[in-house]
Amino acid sequence: MRYLVTGGAGFIGSALVRLLVREGHEVANMDSLTYAATLSSLEPVEDYPAYQFHKVDIRDREGVRSVYEGFRPQRVIHLAAETHVDRSIDSPTVFVETNVLGTTVLLTEATRYVESLASEADDFRFVHVSTDEVFGSLGDEGAFEVDTPYHPRSPYSASKAGADHLVRAWHETFGLPTIVTNCSNNYGPYQFPEKLIPRMLFRAMRGESLPVYGKGTNVREWLHVDDHARALALVAETGAVGQTYLVGSGDEIANIDLVRRLARHLDSVVPGPVPYEEHIEFVQDRPGHDLRYSIDSSKIRNELGWMPQVPFEAGLRDTVEWYVAHPEWWEPIIAERYQGERLGMGKDAT
């Protein structure tokens, strides 16, 4: 099958591309290569004849149209987005431009493309990958469900919520065969170092403090990126048009407990002069920091037969060992693009 993956040089996108190429599909990766994109994440498959890369911004209508017409995908899995909450607090406009306007361009050109397919149009699917953050913040109990009302609380989640609504509107108004997925927090190899887990790891390995927002009581559900990639491939292949699928592992943990687990894994893999947990410090909380996320993923489990395959503790340890073993991947990123500085204070929002 021919898959077009947008944002395929990002964390989740590259995991999906690696999976699809290794399964024998033809894959076109459309990515504008922003600061968070890393083509080295695709080195394991870059020489496969079935893989091709297109440096195209999803806001570029002509570029997007050219890829649709030239590659003629049967499936589009749309991951291209600005994704970091802290950066959205500092620079909200770019999140609206990419996540809302860019998605609109993709949908418009997909509609044009599908109209040219004639009898093949029935086999086309547009899968839009979103986040649990569009639903807002939970208390100590409960979980997000497919019909949970939207209540985004950051510029990032608001921009993703806007994109979700547009995707559904294109299905209802123009008949575009779309599917929406919302996932919990992802972790695993090749994640950009500004995100919580890799940031804690590289700071620890450099002997720096491990800054935890507030009291560290914010709870997240963690999903291994390879499990997410398998879910997306399954949804694209067998998911029902017009439906929403929530993808989560059920593994919830408070941020402070996660950082402590990372510290203990590092103690066993690369022991330091003192336990890494002693480097933890509590810092000013993020503005509007959601308390807890939790996903009810029973629909994708029951209807499509998906189940996570990576146990959390084993996946976390494997992730620690991967970052320890691959400084050649993350050290250039830190040297050139992100040095571990605090983001998201919103002092000069643009």
3, 51, 68, 156: the catalytic one is 156
Q: Is the pLDDT score of 21 beyond 80?
A: yes
Mean pLDDT value of segment 118-143 = 93
2-190+223-251+292-311 folds as Rossmann fold (3.40.50)
109, 133, 221, 290: the catalytic one is 133
pLDDT band at 86 (very low <50, low <70, confident <90, very high): confident
Each residue's pLDDT tens digit, 251-281: 999 999 999 999 999 999 999 999 999 999 9
What's the pLDDT at 256? 98
Q: Is 132 a catalytic residue?
A: yes
Q: Measured between alpha carbons, how far is 31 from 8 in angstroms, rounded to an integer?
A: 6
Q: Is 277 a catalytic residue?
A: no
Mean pLDDT value of segment 147-163 = 97
Q: Is the pLDDT score of 350 beyond 60?
A: no
User: What is residue 349's three-state secondary structure?
Assistant: coil
Mean pLDDT value of segment 284-304 = 93
Per-residue DSSP letter, 102:
I
Phi, psi of 140 (to 5 degrees): -70, -20
Q: Is 26 a catalytic residue?
A: no
Q: Is the pLDDT score of 344 beyond 60?
A: no
Mean pLDDT value of segment 316-338 = 92
DSSP assignment of 67-101: HHHHH--SEEEE------HHHHHH-HHHHIIIIII
Angle (deg, nearest 10), helices 255-269 and 196-205: 40
